Amino acid sequence: MRIDLSGRTALVTGSTSGIGFAIACGLADAGAEVVVNGRSADRVADAVGRLREEHPEAGIRGIDADVTTDEGVARLLGDLPAVDVLVNNLGIFGSAEPLAIADDEWRRYFDTNVLTAVRLIRSYLPGMIDQGWGRVIDIASDSAVVIPAEMIHYGVSKTALLAASRGFAKAAAGTGVTVNSVIAGPTHTGGVEDFVYELVSRDLPWDEAQREFMRLHRPQSLLQRLIEPEEIANMVAYLASPLASATTGGALRVDGGYVDSILP
């Protein structure tokens, strides 16, 4: 099975590190021209440099723009008016006492994790429809299906993202454009390491802390370890490719068996 994205331009939001960076690597490896996005010009430049080192023949560029704001989206669209592949990876997460989450925090999570994706889909989907080909991939989470007690606001925002993905897939019905979401399970990133240490003793070495976190807080994982970002990127590269032409409106799981369901 050969994934070939030659001649396609892909935008990955929140791609200076973690899952987003791994997705950018995977798409570049498949031959796409990849646009790295983040808020910090320095971090974007660093990510672009690392990608070019790893993929010297790929077309890599960066746009520093805060896509959680109208101004940032306008800046992005000014530099990048059209894409073939849109990966909405940007998101925030963190633990919080459920009854102590204020309205402003709920709004911040919804604005960042849902409306940012909606705003970019609204901007790029019409061009994809006009050309008769395109891919929209929203990075969701197992927390969308199994709402964790320690971060209800995050889980609810990712549930809304699944619904938005399904709705936009219907809006693109019959056009050659697919819209899907990826349900990512507990994944090993720098931010997740910090999150793990919020819930288990910081005195533990990382390998022990990870096992303790999975045992206490994610016991239903069949993988029984954190997922590596590259494993998420593999699914995204497939969904972005012509090989996934009959997959749309779906919520595909890369969750290590975390969600206890036969269907997504």
Residue-wise pLDDT tens digits, 82-122: 999 999 999 999 889 999 999 999 999 999 999 999 999 99
Count how many residues are written for the chain.
264
Q: Which of 154, 197, 238, 258 is the catalytic position?
A: 154
Give the residue-averaged pLDDT of 44-51.
98
Q: Is residue 153 part of a domain?
A: yes
- At 193 the pLDDT is 87
Residue partners of 77: CB distance under 8 A and separation at least 6: 123
For the chain, what percent of residues have pLDDT higher than 70? 100
> How many CA atoms within 13 Å lie on the side-chain side of 96?
17
Angle (CA) 109-115-119 rounded to 5° is 155
218 inside domain: no
CATH number at residue 42: 3.40.50.720
Residue 192 in any domain: the answer is no
Per the annotation, the verdict on 154 as an active-site residue is: yes
pLDDT for the residue numbered 28: 98
Q: Which has the closest alpha carbon to 152: 106, 91, 184?
A: 106
Instruction: Give me the residue label for tokens 């990826």.
Output: 182
User: Phi/psi at 184 (nearest 5 deg)?
Assistant: -85, 135
As a whole number, mean pLDDT of residues 225-240 equals: 96
DSSP at 254: E
Q: What is the pLDDT of residue 14?
A: 97
Model confidence band, residue 229 (pLDDT cutoffs 50, 70, 90): very high
Pairwise CA distance, residues 141 & 154, whole Å: 9
Distance CA 171, CA 219 (A): 38
Query: What pLDDT score does 190 carry?
Result: 81
Residue 204 lies in a domain: no
Average pLDDT over residues 47-69: 96
Q: Which domain holds residue 68?
A: 9-186+228-248
Per-residue model confidence (pLDDT) at position 169:
98
Write the DSSP symbol of residue 187.
B
Write out pLDDT tens, residues 130-179: 999 999 999 999 999 999 998 999 999 999 999 999 999 999 999 999 99
Which pLDDT belongs to residue 195? 82
Query: pLDDT at residue 58 above 80?
Result: yes
Residue 36 lies inside a defined structural domain of this protein: yes
> In which element (H, E) is residue 239 found?
helix 229-240
* Predicted TM-score of the model (pTM): 0.94
In 37-64, which positions are buried (b, 16+ CB within 10 angstroms) versus exposed (e)?
bbbeeebbebbbebbeeebeebebebbb
In a domain, 178, yes or no: yes
Average pLDDT over residues 213-220: 90
Can you give the pLDDT at residue 225? 87
> To which residue do tokens 């990048």 refer?
80
Amino acid at 15: S
**Whole-number average pLDDT of the chain:** 95
Q: Among 34, 39, 59, which residue's Cα sits nearest to residue 236?
A: 34
Collapsing DSSP states into helix, strand and coil, what is residue 34?
Answer: strand
Counted domains in the chain: 1
Q: Is residue 165 part of a domain?
A: yes
